[in-house]
Chains A and B, each alone.
Chain A
């Protein structure tokens, strides 16, 4: 009788994450097809429709890139925080807080120069996101409280705060029964580069480069990696690990806050509970699937943005939008399964 044993591969293929992702995506499409078949829908027709409506024309491609923008920005925030080996499950709340930050400053300030005003509003969004993660970050570095649970729970708190604001102090009487804050003025809308493509996407490209630099090229990134490693190494290297972790969390939260700010100024133009439809959770999938690499997050985020647009338009033919969520989550599960075969090999051993 033969037995099998596992052996860790010494050298893991550098592109293994990429290959795993592709394979995972194919697995997810198969799973999506099965679900569609179960609902008496033709998978090939549905997927080609999704494809056409998400990247088939300049207009739809622009929508997809706009949709990808908050996903990518939030994903980058998660990746930065993961440099110190911590998790940010609170991107969803930080996105809302970013939008709240924008509206807060907009109400309390008026500037004639709209370019500077927009920049200040986006800065306020960044600070909003950072503020949102402040408590989890503080109690993490001071007392070691599990950041996964605290950042997750802040999502519910911030969404509760949003509901309060749009039903209470910020409620726009003109929005009738729909609870929402008043629209911001047209002068602070993020303009479009061309067609429907917003300048938000340009901001997204800039911040991808910034995150890549921060994480992989800068001294701070190096210090963050050491801070996320063993405590002894950090002490030996003279690095204040807690300080780096704290900073990384605030910056990462800020990225997600910026996502909310960009979404408000370019898409929704007002605070409501519709600012994010689970972007912060999709961002976790994107960040994890790419092994927390900023460039990868940009690429996969773009694909997932298109998938979300495709998912929302196929509603019209009676297919649930959740199919996009399921494909995204299944992609990661598929990729994890394939990644195993890159990391380990099965060896046959003779029974003795």
Chain B
């Protein structure tokens, strides 16, 4: 017989991890191709608000997910145009994408603060009060299974298919990839928009299931934690998933420590995810001695010299 509290902890861990993991997976693809996109926070926010508004107005949850994902992908294309096509600074562009995304989503969502959803993103099987690990695993939200599917699919694609190997080729040495006849611009453009699409999926999960409502700045730094996760995962999908589970576990654990008899200041509980992220990032960097395994061309715009 497993403690019901432990099952609750597992459940909360999986939910928090899913949210972070999907966004991190998208950023992983983008960064693999050599493009750093610091706009994750803004892209999640755009997807979150677009999905929520669509769901409130149409009551069609499937359509809402599609709209949220596409909105973020289109939003990410701003970054693609500015950095991939026009070769401007990726750090600057990504930061502004976050600022613009947060402001734009607040503007669009102004009349939807406090609105209630009639339909939510549901779990695959409805199990009330799961009483063992399998029931917890089976009662997860549909996005959880989708993210596992994507993890396997993306890991396989990046390693074993022509389409996927391109991203790494371009991200490691864009000039060599170019001389091999790969279309660098196109590859990086696709990778950036894919990153946006996944951030959007994370966003709709946030507003259509995890929370589920809309309010300003509700992403609360998750986009940045996702960025840290990519570093943690060493640009590998499975390790990133492990990292997401670890972060999700800690995020779920700290507020529950009280039930295990620890006295905790609620304000410290609130900021613990950010402290934990910094701590893990520092430990990891020390452990790896600064060699993180980042794509070699990350942040460097591709430019073909005149011949």
Q: Check if A and B associate.
A: yes
A-side residues, CB < 8 A to B, are: 5-8, 35, 87, 89, 135-136, 139, 143-146, 148-150, 152-154, 156-157, 160-161, 163-164, 167-168, 281-282, 284-285, 288, 320, 322-323, 325-326, 328-330, 332-333, 336-337, 339-340, 343-344, 347
Q: What is the bound-complex CA distance between A325 and B286, given in angstroms?
A: 38
Within 8 Å of chain A (Cβ to Cβ): is B93? yes
Q: Please state if A150 and B303 are interface contacts (CB–CB under 8 Å).
A: no
Bound-state CA distance A288–B89 (Å) is 10
| Contact for B82 among A87, A281, A288, A336, CB less than 8 A | A336
Q: Are A340 and B304 neighbours in the complex by a CB distance under 8 Å? A: no
Q: Are A167 and B290 in contact (CB under 8 A)?
A: no
Distance in angstroms between the alpha carbons of A15 and B280 in the assembled complex: 44
Are B87 and A344 in touch, CB under 8 angstroms?
yes
Q: Given A8-B303, A139-B278, 13 other A-B contacts at CB below 8 A?
A: A139-B282, A144-B285, A146-B285, A149-B224, A149-B231, A149-B281, A153-B278, A160-B271, A284-B96, A322-B104, A326-B107, A333-B100, A336-B89
B residues in contact with A168, CB < 8 Å: 267
Q: Mark B248-287, 1 if CB is under 8 A from A, else 0.
A: 0000000000000000010110110011011001100110
* B72 interface hit (Cβ, 8 Å): no
**A7 contacts B86, C-beta separation under 8 Å:** no
B275 touches A157 (CB 8 A): yes
Interface centre among B89, B104, B107, B275 (most CB of A within 10 A): B107
In the bound complex, CA of A167 to CA of B104 (Å): 31
Interface membership of B99, Cβ < 8 A: yes
Interface contact B267-A89, CB-CB below 8 Å: no
Contact A332 to B228, CB < 8 A, known contacts A144-B285, A146-B281, A149-B281: no
Q: Is A156 touching B282 in the complex (CB atoms < 8 A)?
A: no
Q: Known contacts being A326-B104, A326-B107, is A149 close to B228, with CB within 8 Å?
A: yes
Q: Which of B96, B106, B231, B271 contacts A156 (CB 8 A)?
A: B271
The interface residues of chain B lying within 8 Å CB-to-CB of A344 are 87
Q: Are the CB atoms of B82 and A284 closer together than 8 Å? A: no
- B100-A143 in contact (CB<8A): no
Report whether B303 and A6 are in contact in the complex, using a CB–CB cutoff of 8 Å. yes
State whether the Cβ of B91 lies closer than 8 Å to any Cβ in chain A. Answer: yes
What are the residues of chain A within 8 A of B127 when measuring CB–CB? Answer: none
Task: Give 9 nearest A-B pairs by CB, closest first.
Answer: A160-B271, A325-B103, A164-B267, A329-B100, A340-B86, A144-B290, A322-B107, A336-B88, A153-B274
A122 and B91 CA atoms in complex are apart in Å by 32
Q: Nearest Cβ in chain A — how far from B4, in angstroms? A: 30
Smallest distance from the beta carbon of B226 to chain A beta carbons, Å?
10
Measured between alpha carbons, how far is A152 from B274 in the docked complex, in Å? 9
Give A244 to B278 CA distance when docked, in angstroms: 23
Taking residues whose C-beta sits less than 8 angstroms from the other chain, chain B's interface range is: 35 or more
B residues in contact with A339, CB < 8 Å: 88
Q: Which of A5, A157, A330 has the most CB of B within 10 A?
A: A157
A149 to B280, CA, bound (A): 12
Judge if B221 is at the interface, Cβ distance under 8 Å. Answer: yes
Q: Are A164 and B285 in contact (CB under 8 A)?
A: no
The answer to whether B138 has its CB under 8 Å from any CB of chain A is no
Cα distance A139–B278 when bound, in Å?
10
> What is the bound-complex CA distance between A5 and B220, given in angstroms?
43
B124 interface residue (CB < 8 Å to A):
no
Query: Are B100 and A330 interface neighbours, CB within 8 A?
Result: yes
Contact call A336/B107, Cβ cutoff below 8 A = no
* Shortest Cβ gap from A303 to chain B (Å): 17
User: What is the 8 Å Cβ interface bit string for chain B, positions 61-99, against chain A (1 contact, 0 not)?
Assistant: 000000000000000001001100011110111011001
Q: Is the CB of A135 within 8 A of B278?
A: yes
B82 to chain A, nearest CB (A): 5
- Pairwise interchain contact A139-B107, C-beta atoms closer than 8 A: no
How distant is the Cα of A35 from the Cα of B106 in the complex, in angstroms? 13
Please indicate the chain B residues that have their CB under 8 angstroms from the CB of A347 in the complex. Answer: 306
**A288/B103 in contact, CB under 8 A:** no
How many Å lie between the Cα of A336 and that of B306 in the bound state? 23
Whole-angstrom CA separation of A242 from B306 in the bound complex: 37
Task: Return the chain B residue nearest A144 by Cβ.
Answer: B290
B169 CB–A CB distance under 8 Å: no
Q: A336 near B270 (CB under 8 angstroms)? A: no
- Residues of the B chain whose Cβ atoms lie less than 8 Å from the Cβ of A157: 271, 274-275
Q: Which residue of A lies closest to B101 (CB)?
A: A329
Cβ 8 A contact of A35, one of B96, B107, B285:
B107
Residues of A within 8 A of B93 (CB): 333, 336
Interface pair A87/B103, CB less than 8 Å apart? no
A-B contact pairs, 19 of them (CB 8 A): A35-B107, A89-B95, A139-B282, A146-B285, A149-B227, A149-B228, A150-B282, A153-B224, A153-B278, A156-B221, A161-B271, A281-B99, A284-B96, A288-B92, A326-B103, A329-B99, A330-B100, A333-B82, A333-B96
Residues of B208-240 at the interface with A, using a CB-CB cut-off of 8 Å, are: 220-221, 224-225, 227-228, 231
- Cα–Cα distance between A168 and B106 once the two chains are bound (Å): 30
Interfacial chain B residues near A336, Cβ < 8 Å: 82, 86, 88-89, 92-93
Chain A residues near B224 (CB-CB < 8 A): 149, 152-153
B301 to chain A, nearest CB (A): 10
Which B residues are in CB contact (< 8 Å) with A152?
221, 224
Proximity string of chain B (289-306) to chain A, C-beta cutoff 8 Å, 1 when within and 0 when not: 010000000000001101
